Structure 1
Amino acid sequence: MRVRTDIFVSALMRRVFARGDFAAVEVKGAEAAGAVFVRQMFRDGTESLHAPAPQSVFDSEESDTRLFETRLERVAGETVAEAIGRERRFDSDLWVVSVETDDLAGLIDFAEDKPKDDGFFRR
């Protein structure tokens, strides 16, 4: 069973602050099952946008794990804001968490880091 979104976001923010970085909830969505988007802000003024990975990459055994994919990488903040705006028109229940850090390692899991299982062998 997947952890409620509000609890996931709270834990994410605690991990960010524990590392000495900064995080803020930019948009609060559905508490139980809202999608989470992570807006990563870098010191040089660029930003990245990390979104929920498509469910096709989920292993049935990992259905409780939230996996992310990078949608935009090190672009202008306006570009990220426009992408978030488009997503919000599609899904008004989503969350946006802004994180000021150069490294997300240990904070969120990425789908591309997980080995793929195509039924015959793991890659």
Structure 2
Amino acid sequence: MEPRLKAEIWIKAHIRKCSFLNIPVFVTRRGDETAGSALIKVNRLNNQCMVLTPTTNFEDGSRKWLQGTGANWVDEETADRYIEKQINFDRDLWVLEIEDTEGRHFLDEKVES
């Protein structure tokens, strides 16, 4: 398995990457600094959103991301309901919102539906 960065460090790094590209990005919920995990809400600013959730690739132990709200874009209300459900399961979650009209997430890891 790959070593994992603390949640807050990973969040700060991803914010820096987006900011460097002039992409608006916001922490909409702070989680636990070390043990927390992150959800990423990609907002296309036209009421089309997608929430990405991290998981482990059990073949090689690397991190990959799943389209938690499904393969298609959903409205913002549906995305926010999904996030609230996940927070109810895991109070340590961070939520990062990326506003990009092209729907880019800027993750290096694989994203699956």
Count residues with an aligned counterpart.
106
Q: Unaligned regions of 5+ residues in structure 1, if any?
A: 113-123
TM-score scaled by length of structure 1:
0.78
In the superposition, the TM-score normalised over structure 2's length comes to 0.84
Given the superposition, is the C-alpha separation of residues 111 and 41 from structure 1 closer, same or farther in structure 2, using an over 3 Å criterion? closer
Q: Distance in 2 between matches of 1:100 and 1:67?
A: 21
Contact conserved, 1:57 with 1:111, CA < 8 A, in 2? no
Measured on the aligned residues, the alpha-carbon RMSD in Å equals 1.6
What's the CA shift for 1:11? 0.3
- 1:82 deviation in Å? 0.6
Tell me, yes or no, if the aligned pair for 1:68 and 1:108 is still in contact at 8 Å: no
In structure 2, the gaps of 5 or more residues are: none
Determine helix, strand or coil for the equivalent of 1:74: coil
Measured in 2, the distance between the counterparts of 1:42 and 1:100 equals: 6
Larger radius of gyration: 1
Percent of aligned pairs with the same amino acid: 24
**Does 2:89 match 1:90?**
yes
